[in-house]
Amino acid sequence: MKILPFKIPKTSQESFRLQEDREHHFYDYLHQHPEVQLTLILSSEGKVIAGDYIGTFKPGDIFLIGANLPHVFRNDSRYYEQGDDSTAHSYTVFFEWQSFGEKFLSLPELKKLQEFTKVSDRGLYIKDPVRNRISQLMKQMFRTSEMDRLIVLLKILNILSHAESIDPLASSGIYNDFDEIDGKKLADVYRFTMNEYHRKIHLDEVADVANMTTNSFCRYFKKRTRKSYIDFLTEIRIGQARKLLQLNDLSISQICFEVGFNNLSNFNRKFRELCEITPTEFRRSQMQ
């Protein structure tokens, strides 16, 4: 299974690439590429991993993935089920900062954009109030061509470089030293975890997936992701719990066991550690 690097197809007639994905589910292998990626989720839900960041995505979300930042958008399990007609749909722009030219980015009028190029390496989650404007402009790009597209892209980058409502995804660090072996191991571990998080998982099981001893795997995973596997698993479980809490058709106790916790007090404690509120408070906030 070839994971990294990933080649973005681009013709000699274009300096950046627009891509519309409309499939049963998104490409679900951990991968990286030298292009910066700006993705607007139009439909479907799931988990997003970018470097050592783990979160969820839903329609309307916009993510900027930095150059060579390992990432994957993996849809929820129902998008893989036979007979389910749900569709994963997104608009994505792939570009490289070098495409604009070194002299262009050195212009004094583009000081904010120069600073933004460095911040973007960690990946970004685009929030309101700029998210709606970026969403409109991205949709406009897919209705235009040639120079008009470039103008719209520059408008988007100008808005992003001046925005305050943007959260970095990955913690600071260098991710471009991932090789293909790293990609395969981590992708296998991520896929295994997302499929099995609902039950008790033993570390030796995960180590077998990575074809490593348990101790070696724990050291390897911590070095590569800056967190322990147990912390990673907990984040996956809490992320799924947040989604179930918004549906409001299961009790908190049911959700606790549904996502793989073996007792309610531990679930409540971990949820509060990661979300800074209790499951009850979170559910109440979603109903307002």
103-131 pLDDT per residue, tens: 887 888 888 888 898 888 889 999 989 99
Token pair listed for 97: 């900062």
Encode pLDDT of 75-111 as tens digits: 988 899 887 788 999 999 999 988 877 788 788 888 8
20: how many CB neighbours lie within 10 A of its CB?
Answer: 10
C-alpha 46/C-alpha 54 separation (Å) is 11
Distance separating alpha carbons of residues 125 and 38, to the nearest angstrom: 10
Identify the structural domains of the chain with CATH numbers, from first to last.
17-168 (2.60.120.280), 197-287 (1.10.10.60)
Task: Supply the DSSP string of 24-60, one letter for each residue.
Answer: SS---S-B--SSEEEEEEEE--EEEEETTEEEEE-TT
pLDDT top residue among 210 and 191: 210
Predicted pLDDT of residue 68: 86
Long-range Cβ contacts of 240-249 (<8 Å, 24+ apart):
240/197, 241/267, 241/271, 241/279, 242/56, 242/275, 242/282, 243/45, 243/56, 243/76, 245/279, 245/282, 245/283, 245/286, 246/283, 246/286, 248/283, 248/286, 248/287
pLDDT grade for 2, boundaries at 50, 70 and 90: very low
Read off the pLDDT of residues 212-271 as tens digits, 9 standing for 90 and up: 999 999 999 988 877 899 999 998 999 889 889 987 689 999 999 999 999 999 999 999
